[in-house]
Amino acid sequence: MRLPVTVWGLALGQALLVSGNILLVSVTALIGQQIAPSLSLITLPVALQFLGLMGVTLPAAHLMRWLGRKTGFLIGNLIGIGGAILAYFALAAGDFTLFCLSTFLLGMAIGVGQQYRFAAIEGCPSSLHPRAISLVMAGGVIAAILGPNLAIWGEKLFPATQYLGAFAVLIGLYMLTTLLIAFIPLKKPTRAELQGEVRSYAELFRQPQLVAAITAGVIGYAVMVLIMTATPLAMQGCGFGFSSTASVIQWHVLGMFAPSFITGRLITRYSETKVIQSGCLLLILCVLLNQLGTSYWHFWTALVALGIGWNFTFIGATSLLTHTYRPAEKAKVQGINDFLVFGSAAIGSLLAGYWQSLLGWEVLNLLMLPAIAVAMLMVAISSKKGQLKKGVSTLFR
C-alpha cells in the first residue's frame, strides 16, 4: 500500500525544517561570541531557542486540535519567518537583546514543526503509521547535507557582515515551507477529536505503553544530545582539529536520519518493543566504544552507533505512543510527550559541557548506562503486560 501524498509533503517540510535547524546551530553560538555583552551570555541565544521550543509544544498541540494541522503549521512557519527577519536585522545592528528574542521565536517555530511526524499518520491506515513516521524523519538525510552547505553558501551573500547571509537563507527556507504547507492536503479536526471524552493525566499515565513510550523517547533523546554535545569538547581535548570533529558530527547526523528509510518496516515486522530495545543496545554500544579508546575511529563508530540508536528509540517510541490515546486525547498526549522529550534534550545540552569538564569523557558516558537500562526495563514491562492483557482477552472471547 502506498503512502499518501501528504506524507511525502510533510517529509519535504521536515527536510526544510531540519536544514534550517542545522544552519541555525552552525552559527548561533558563534554570533553570541561576537555580540554578547559578556562571556557568561554567549550561549544565552541557544538556551532561549530551547526554551521557545519547550514552551510551545503543549500550546501548539492544543491549537492544532481546535484549528487543524494546516492552520497550526502555517502559524508556526509565520513565527519562523518573523524570527528569521528579526535575527537578520538584529545581527546587522549588532543588537544582542533582539537577537535573543529572535532565537526564542525560531525555537517556537521549530517546536511547532515537531508535530509533522504526528500529522503524517493522520489519513493513513494504522498499518502504515510506522512507515509514515519514518518517511517524515528521513527528511533529515537531506538536511544533513543541505544544512551545512546552506550555511557556507549564505556566507557569500553578505561578506561584509559575518553570518548575516545565513538568516537571509533561513527566511527563504521558512517562506518555502509556508508555501508547501499551504498546498498540502491536511485533514481537519473530526467531531471525535473535538468533542470526544478526554481522560485525565493520572488515568492516561496508568497505561504501561504510554509510560514506556515517553520514557524511551526522553532517555533516548537526552543520552543522544548529551554525548553528541560533549563529543566536540572531548575530541578537542584529544588534539583533533575542527575538520575531524565536523566529519564525525556529520556522520552522526546521517546515522540519526538515514535508517528512517527502513525503521518503519522493521517496526511493522518486529514490533516497536524490539526496535526500541535494539536502539537502546546501540546506545550501550556507543558508551562501550567510548571506553575503549579516543582515536578518530573510536569517536566515529561511537557517534554513528549513537545516531542509529537514537533513530530506533525515537521512531519506535513515537510509533508506540500512537497506540495510547483516543482521538480527542491526541493533542494532550502528543503535547506532553514533546514537552518532556525536548525538555530532556535541553537539559542534556546544558549538562554536557559541565559534566565533560567536571567528570571527564569516560565517566560522562558511563553515567548514561543506568538511564538506558531504565528505558529498556520500562519497555520490557510494557510489552509483557500487553501480552498478558491480549492473552486474557483471547481467553474470555
Of the candidates 163, 182, 205, the residue with the CA atom closest to the CA atom of residue 329: 205
> Which residue stretches of 114-207 are H helix?
116-119, 129-155, 164-183, 191-195, 201-204
**Grid cell at residue 387:** 501480552
Q: Is the pLDDT of residue 391 over 70?
A: no
- Mark 169-181 as b/e (b = at least 16 C-beta within 10 Å): bbbbbbeebbebb
Scan for cell 491526541, then name that residue.
330
Q: What is the C-alpha separation between 189 and 67, in angstroms, rounded?
A: 7
**Grid cell at residue 206:** 496508568
At 186, is the secondary structure helix, strand, or coil? coil
Scan for cell 532565537, then name that residue.
103
Summarize pLDDT for 12-37 with one digit per residue, the tens. 888 888 888 777 766 776 677 778 78
Contact (Cβ atoms closer than 8 angstroms) between residue 4 and residue 131: no
Q: What is the C-alpha separation between 171 and 262, in angstroms, rounded?
A: 32
| Position 388 confidence tier, pLDDT thresholds 50, 70, 90 | low
- Kindly report the pTM of this predicted structure: 0.80
**Eight-class DSSP state of 206:** T
Better pLDDT: 12 or 151: 12
**Grid cell at residue 107:** 525555537
Better pLDDT: 242 or 302: 302
Summarize pLDDT for 208-243 with one digit per residue, the tens. 999 999 999 999 999 998 888 788 878 878 888 767
Q: How far apart are the first and last CA of the chain?
A: 31
**Eight-class DSSP state of 258:** T
Contact (Cβ atoms closer than 8 angstroms) between residue 325 and residue 209: no
Of the candidates 112, 131, 113, the residue with the CA atom closest to the CA atom of residue 121: 131
